[in-house]
Structure 1
Amino acid sequence: MPKFVFAYHGGPSSMTEEEGKAHMASWMDWMVGLGEAVLDRGHAVGKSHTVTGDGAVEGGGVNPISGYTLVQAVDMDAALKMAAVSPHVHVGGTIEVAPVLDMPM
């Protein structure tokens, strides 16, 4: 079955402790609901940096990644439907969905 990366961007700028706990509970419910489609729950990530071809180091870009998850789905449409119901998109964040390509390494 094809694999897809969910790259999380943004999210809430601030939450109370109570709102944060409710959001995490919703996120965990969503993860559990995805069942065996989740191959790697992933992690939240800190401030990113971008390294360019000339060796320069810049900030994380205009829309830096804030976390990732690896899922499997029958096709891109199914993966997009999974992402569309994530609590992350309902608190101001976005999810970039990209297929994992099988390439010889």
Structure 2
Amino acid sequence: MQKYILAYHGGNTSMTPEEGQQHMQKWMAWMDGLGDAVVDRGVPVGSSITVSSDQVTDDGGPNPLSGITIIQADSQDAAVAMTQKSPHLDIGGTIELAPVMDMPM
């Protein structure tokens, strides 16, 4: 099976504590529903900085990262179908999906 990284971007960051708890419950139910497809539940991330060859900015770039997860699926279509059910999309976020490349290191 191919591994895929899900990179979460954006989303509503102005939720009330109650809304945040409800969202987390939906997210955990989605994650639990993925079962063995989840390789690494990943982590949310805080404000990021952008490092380039000539500067460092603390704006997170045009589409700041808000977290990651690693899943596995039989095909990219199957990975997309799993990803489309994420509650992160319900709060205005987007998810970048990319295959993990196996490279000898």
Shorter-chain-normalised TM-score: which range?
over 0.9
Q: 4+ runs of 1 displaced by more than 3 Å?
A: none
Q: What is residue 57 of structure 1 aligned with on the other side?
A: 56
Shift, 1:38, TM fit: 0.4
Q: Identity percentage over the alignment?
A: 60
* Separation in 2, partners of 1:51, 1:14: 27
Q: Which amino acid aligns with 1:57?
A: V
Shift, 1:14, TM fit: 1.3
**Structure 2 portions without partners, runs of 5+:** none
CA RMSD between the two structures = 1.0
Shift, 1:49, TM fit: 1.3
What's the secondary structure of 2:98's corresponding residue?
Answer: strand
Please list, as runs of the form range in 1=range in 2, the aligned pairs for 1:12-91 lying within 5 A after superposition. 12-54=12-54, 56-58=55-57, 59-91=59-91
Q: Which amino acid aligns with 2:85?
A: V
Deviation string 1:50-69 (CA, Å, 9 cap, x unpaired) is 21124x21232100100000
**Structure 1 portions without partners, runs of 5+:** none
Q: Which amino acid aligns with 1:10?
A: G
TM-score with structure 1 length normalisation? 0.94
Shift, 1:84, TM fit: 0.4
